[in-house]
Amino acid sequence: MKILGNLIWLIFGGFITALEYLFTGIFYCMTIIGIPWGLQCFKYASVVIWPFGTNIVPKSDTGITSLFLNIIWLVFGGFWICLTHIFFGIILCITIIGIPWGRQHLKLAKLALTPFSYRIE
C-alpha cells in the first residue's frame, strides 16, 4: 500500500516539490556558506519524493544553532517551499480521495519551515 501511495504522490505534487528541494539545494551548495542548507535540502528531497512510510520526529536537542539556521532557511527559500506544500495540501484536501496526500503535504509544510528542528526515521 505504501508503494501505491508513493506512486500516486509523485503525480499529485510530490515530484514538483522534490524538484523544488533539489534546485534549492543546488543553489545553496554553490556557495560555501550555504552547504549546510543545501545538504538539508537534498535530505528532505528524498523524503518528499517518497513520504509514505517515513516519520518526521522533532529533535529533542535543538539549540541556538538550529534556531539561527532555521531563520536563515526561512528567509532564503523555506517560506516558498512551505507555500507550495500548503497549496497542494489545500487543493488535495478539497476532495475526499485526496485527503491522505493533502495531509502529507501539510505535514511536510511544517518540515519546510524549520528543517533543522526535525529528524527523519
pLDDT at 94: 93
Strands 118-120 and 56-58 come out as: antiparallel
User: How sure is the predictor about 47, in pLDDT bands with cuts at 50, 70 and 90?
Assistant: confident
Q: pTM for the complete prediction?
A: 0.80
Domains contained in the chain, number: 1
Q: Residue 28: which of 78, 65, 87, 79 has the closest Cα?
A: 78
Q: What's the average model confidence in pLDDT over 12-33?
A: 87
Residues 59-114: tens digit of each pLDDT: 877 788 888 888 888 888 788 888 988 998 999 899 888 888 888 888 888 888 88
Domain that holds residue 72: 2-120
Averaged confidence pLDDT in the chain: 86
Which pLDDT score, from 0 to 100, does residue 5 have?
80
